[in-house]
């Protein structure tokens, strides 16, 4: 009886002590215990922000972000569960043995991605297995509606939604959103039981409107691709600029790639050749030597140069024309693309003046459009110029330029002698600088119009419109010097002549066959693209405009 009483007293005392402790803890340590509980169950979760949209000048989407789900796992938790992982591996479309080995080798880590960027319905099916250690994260995946048509200009992001090429890289800081945060309640297995409260809202990335017109972009892409296939060329580029704003309306390259499917991507197709690849521009630089001659005051459009007997010796080199063209005025030199004529003209000019004008119009300079990887090209700057260096510079050898730089140079002529900085963005105001007199630009324009009406650029003609431009055919440099069978074909020009709206440059790299010149390969692409662009933009025809005499006929 005494023992029972002792036990009862002890039990009551112990119970009292426990109750007393509970009361004490709840009164004095309540905040501490609550904090410890929160530390074990409440977590801060990131709220991913979607990337800004890229649109063309008419608001058509070029890059958009769609919601996706990424699955990840804690290998230890997943392997420690009694669940059969074969079903998970099958649903992830991976080999079960390789999947198990991968998890086993990752036991030291608490976070391993199983599959990135899954469509939400597919991810939900896998999550419905309710496997311990299997988690999900909401992300965004970039989609490009225009596909390979605009791939080089728009660019791509990587799997982490960071810009890697093109506009996506150039304006990555603008496009990237700021992730938000929220407090969530998690259970023992790490599953989110409830959202408690937002801590910071996710801020979406900034949308960007490009100057590109998707209608013109598709037109340029289609015509360039057809020409590359027709001439079995190695590659090619085309750029179309708006004369008034200096903005890039279209920029296409071949070969291209599909930014929405990069599983078998050839890295050589990714770079934007119109911006990154520099080539010797050949005869497309001749108008700028003529411009220096006009600006010097010692020459005028009808100044005559004797090109007989069809070649000229400069230092130890012989510079030939296809035939003896006799006396040519400055316009004839451009229309017939006479190497002899432009070389003799260059030897009458200050070489530093020719070099300075080329630099002023953007040759050998970073264009400054903001596009990543812009090439500076090469513009020689000799302390003393030999005669052969003066001559070759005049007809575009010994100097390298990108199609974008060449387009910028012709933009200066189309704008009446005022160079304007190129821009990729719609409605962006850029700087201007006068590089030649308005009179010189006007005289040069009339001569370039004769190149198309009576000279080497006849296939750049557009029905109902006058066109000014220049062909260029450059022998490619090989291991043993310039090769006779491999060429670069150029056409650079603008239209309409009376009030220019568009400038375009076409470059075809290494066309096959006998028809490999700028006049037969690049000029037709220019004509097709510009003809379609005039209709799309509703530019009024100017066929009735009469051009004054300044030049006259072909090589280039």
Q: Which residues pair with 378 in a beta bridge?
A: 400
- The structure tokens 């890289």 sit at 169
The residue among 389, 393, 445, 387 whose CA lies nearest residue 414 is: 445
The residue among 477, 488, 520, 472 whose CA lies nearest residue 234 is: 488
The DSSP bridge pattern shows strands 192-200 and 180-186 to be antiparallel
Q: How many whole angstroms separate alpha carbon 475 and alpha carbon 483?
A: 6
Both tokens of 273, joined, read 């050749």
Both tokens of 305, joined, read 């140069």
CA distances (Å), 347 to each of 281, 292, 391, in order? 20, 12, 7
The answer to whether 519 and 336 are in contact (CB under 8 A) is: no
The residue among 510, 527, 509 whose CA lies nearest residue 253 is: 509
Q: Which residues pair with 163 in a beta bridge?
A: 157
- The structure tokens 């302390």 sit at 383
3-state secondary structure (DSSP) of residue 417? coil
**Would residue 136 show up in a list of annotated catalytic residues for this protein?**
no
The answer to whether 417 and 288 are in contact (CB under 8 A) is: no
Q: Which residues pair with 140 in a beta bridge?
A: 67
The single residue of 136, 283, 337, 369 carrying the catalytic annotation is: 283
The answer to whether 311 and 340 are in contact (CB under 8 A) is: yes
3-state secondary structure (DSSP) of residue 67? strand
The residue among 554, 473, 522 whose CA lies nearest residue 284 is: 473
The answer to whether 295 and 436 are in contact (CB under 8 A) is: yes
130: left (phi over 0), alpha (psi -120 to 50) or beta: left
Please list the active-site residues: 283
């Amino acid at each position: 009886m005494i023992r029972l009483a002792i036990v009862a007293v002890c039990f009551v005392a112990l119970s009292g002590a426990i109750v007393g402790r509970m009361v004490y803890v709840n009164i004095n340590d309540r905040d501490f215990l609550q904090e410890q509980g929160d530390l074990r169950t409440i977590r801060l979760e990131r709220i991913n922000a979607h990337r800004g949209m890229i649109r063309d000048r008419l608001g058509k989407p070029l890059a958009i972000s769609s919601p996706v789900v990424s699955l990840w796992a804690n290998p230890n938790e997943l392997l420690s569960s009694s669940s059969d992982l074969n079903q998970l591996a099958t649903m992830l479309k991976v080999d079960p043995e390789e999947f198990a080995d991968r998890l086993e080798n990752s036991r030291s880590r608490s976070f391993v991605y199983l599959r990135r960027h899954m469509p939400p319905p597919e991810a939900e099916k896998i999550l419905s297995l309710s496997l311990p250690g299997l988690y999900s994260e909401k992300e965004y995946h970039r989609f490009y509606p225009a596909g390979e048509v605009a791939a080089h200009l728009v660019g791509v992001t990587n799997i982490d939604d960071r810009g890697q090429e093109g506009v996506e890289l150039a304006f990555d800081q603008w496009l990237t959103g700021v992730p938000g945060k929220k407090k969530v309640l998690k259970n023992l297995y790490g599953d989110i039981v409830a959202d408690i409260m937002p801590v910071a809202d996710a801020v979406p990335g900034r949308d960007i409107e490009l100057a590109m017109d998707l209608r013109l972009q598709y037109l340029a892409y289609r015509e360039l691709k057809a020409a590359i296939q027709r001439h079995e060329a190695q590659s090619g580029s085309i750029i179309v600029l708006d004369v008034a704003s200096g903005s890039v309306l279209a920029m296409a390259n071949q070969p291209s790639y599909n930014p929405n499917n990069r599983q078998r991507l050839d890295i050589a197709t990714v770079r934007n050749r119109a911006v990154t690849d520099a080539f010797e521009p050949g005869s497309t630089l001749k108008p700028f030597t003529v411009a220096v001659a006009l600006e010097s005051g010692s020459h005028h459009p009808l100044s005559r140069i004797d090109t007989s007997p069809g070649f000229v010796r400069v230092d130890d080199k012989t510079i030939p024309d296809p035939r003896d063209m006799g006396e040519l005025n400055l316009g004839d030199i451009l229309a017939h693309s006479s190497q002899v004529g432009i070389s003799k003209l260059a030897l009458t000019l200050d070489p530093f003046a020719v070099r300075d004008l080329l630099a002023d119009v953007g040759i050998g300079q970073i264009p400054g459009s903001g596009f990543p990887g812009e090439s500076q090209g090469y513009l020689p700057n000799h302390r003393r110029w030999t005669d052969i260096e003066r001559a070759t510079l005049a007809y575009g050898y010994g100097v390298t330029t990108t199609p974008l730089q060449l387009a910028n140079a012709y933009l200066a002529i189309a704008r009446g002698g005022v160079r304007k900085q190129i821009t990729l963005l719609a409605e962006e105001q850029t700087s201007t600088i006068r590089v030649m007199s308005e009179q010189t630009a006007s005289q040069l324009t009339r001569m370039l119009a004769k190149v198309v009406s009576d000279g080497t650029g006849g296939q750049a003609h557009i029905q109902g419109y006058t066109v000014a431009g220049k062909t260029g055919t450059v022998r490619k440099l090989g291991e043993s010097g310039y090769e006779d069978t491999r060429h670069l074909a150029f056409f650079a020009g603008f239209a309409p002549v009376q009030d220019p709206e568009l400038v375009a440059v076409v470059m075809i790299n290494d066309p096959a066959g006998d028809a490999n010149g700028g006049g037969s390969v690049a000029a037709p692409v220019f004509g097709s693209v510009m003809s379609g662009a005039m209709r799309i933009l509703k530019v009024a025809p100017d066929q009735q405009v009469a051009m004054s005499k300044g030049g006259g006929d072909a090589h280039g």
